Each structure stands twice: as structure tokens, then as C-alpha cells.
Chains A and B, each alone.
Chain A
Amino acid sequence: MSDIETLEVIEIDESTLIDEDRPWKVIVWNDPINLMVYVTFVLQKLFGYSKEKATRMMLDVHEKGRAVVTSGTRTEAERDVKRLHTHGLWATMEHDE
């Protein structure tokens, strides 16, 4: 019996932990001002993405209105958002669902 109780406690702890660490997504939104070549370049420069990957993300932004460009803890996401803001990209962050 006591083993089962311990298991239950651990389960509750883990679910709480996962909830707190739930990754944040960094999203770049489409805007009519930033040049497509500029957005691609910034994604390559900031995150070390290949031209192919950065172009794919840029096209998602352009055609679908938004793209997830990085994800991580809240601190990491805030850092990335600020770097994108420094480069004039329209970026926000939100919890992974």
C-alpha cells in the first residue's frame, strides 16, 4: 500500500514540474514592412539556421502569417524575442499547448 502511495505523490510532482517547464514557443508574425530577404538573413544570423531552413520559416511567416522559430524555457524564449526585436522583427512568445 505504501508503495502505491509513494508512486502517486511522485506522479503529482512530475506533472507539476512538466507544467512549469512547458516550453515556450517564439513566434515571428507576418508584417508588410520587413523584406523577405532580411527576415531570412536574420533567422540565419541569430539562430545559425541554414539558408534552406530559414527560407522555409520566412515563407511560413509570409504565407501562413506566422512561424515558430525557436522554443525553450521562458528565459530562453524572452532572450530570443528580444534579439528578434533588436532586429525589428515582430516576435512574440507563448506557451506550448
Chain B
Amino acid sequence: MPLFRRRTMVNRQADGTYTVEFPDHIRQLLVGLSRQLDGALDNDDDPSMARLFPTAYANDAEKDAGYQVFARGELIEHRREAIELLTKTAEKDSLEEDELMAWMHVVNDVRLVLGTVLDVSEDSDGVELDHPQADLHELYHVLGAVLAEIVDGLSEGLPDDAELDNEMPVDLGDDDIHDITDLDLSDLDNDLPNNDPDDA
């Protein structure tokens, strides 16, 4: 039984919202998992949570301790906000961008914890069905598919490369100068209020 059709399940609309076509059992799964994540966030000593709170200063334990003092609380708070937003919007078929971002955060956070528990490697495509953790591996891959759909949808809301490529080229030939002129014009267009490229 294929869980996912080839058609994309998250699509950006002209008004900047996103239609989400995940089936109910996926939505219920996400709500249940986010609840478990919420319950585990305060477990400082839980090694499966370590991946959610990485080291900032790899070679300086003292500086890193300083970072962790302020960052850990903020990271927990941010994750709780995402969990709350997902829980509130889990049944909606149309999401605002910040709501869909919250879904993305929760799905990725759960994947990080699950991947840590399963100790996945770059090449682990799957396990045999009689593997003691076969269910968790299956869940891990389902979450990967959900995340890929969400990222695919959200990527539709990113600016096109042509609008962003404003780095000064090292070697300025005539062609490059023309390119820069073109980019300046497009940048001006982007500054207009409510300029939605989809309206064109």
C-alpha cells in the first residue's frame, strides 16, 4: 500500500498559504509524536535528546557552557511553540507559512531523536521486517517522506535564484556588468509592497 502518491501533498497557493493533503492517520501520528517530544524536552540527561541541543564551541568547553546557559532554554521554548502550533492546526487543510514551518520543525525534531535512538547511518536504507526495531525504522522513513513533502512545499515560497544572486563577481567582464544592472532593477521591483510574483 503506497503511503504517498507522486503528486505533491503540500502546495503553495497564490495567497501565500499552503494546502496540506496528508491523510488523517499521518496527522494523528504527528500529534501523538509531538506530545511525546514535548514530554521529553526537559530530560537533560536523556542521550536520545542530545542531538536537539548540539555543542556550539567544539574546542572550548568553557565558552560552550556559556552558550548552553542561554541557548538551551530558548531552543526548548522554540520547540514547545512549534509543538503547540502543530497540535492546534493538525486537522487543517490550509496552513499559514508559520504553521507549516512549525510542522516542519516538529517532524524534523522527532526524526532527529528517532535517528539517534536507532543510531542510523548514512547508508541505512531499511531493515529486515523481523528486526526488533522494524516499526521504529518504518516510522523514521515515513517521517522522512512527510518532511520531504513539507520542504518541497515551503521551497515554493522561497525567492528565485535570479533575485538573490547579488554577490559581486570577482572577475567583472562586460556581460557581468549587464547582469548586475538587471539584478538591481529586479531588486527594486521586489521592494514594492505586496508584490507577489504569482500575480504577474
Contact = CB atoms under 8 A, between A and B. Distances in A.
Interface of A: 31-35, 37-38, 41, 44-45, 48-52, 78, 81-82, 85-88, 90-94
A94 B75 contact: no
| Chain B binding surface SS class | helix
Nearest to A45: B158
B59 A41 contact: no
Contacts of A35: 144, 147-148, 151
Contacts, number: 85
B78 A86 contact: yes
Interface of B: 51-59, 67, 71, 74-75, 78, 105, 108-109, 111-112, 115-116, 120-122, 124, 144, 147-148, 151-152, 154-155, 158-159, 161, 164-165
A33 B75 contact: no
Contacts of B165: 50, 52
Nearest to A33: B115
Contacts of B78: 86
B61 to A, nearest CB: 13
Contacts of B56: 78, 81-82, 85, 91-93
A88 B158 contact: no
Given A48-B164, A78-B67, 20 more contacts: A33-B51, A33-B115, A34-B108, A37-B148, A37-B151, A37-B152, A38-B151, A41-B151, A45-B154, A45-B158, A48-B159, A50-B161, A51-B161, A82-B75, A86-B74, A86-B105, A88-B51, A92-B54, A92-B57, A94-B57
10 contacts: A35-B147, A35-B151, A38-B148, A51-B155, A51-B161, A82-B71, A85-B53, A86-B74, A86-B105, A88-B51
Contacts of B57: 92-94
B167 to A, nearest CB: 8
Given A37-B151, A50-B164, A32 B120 contact: yes
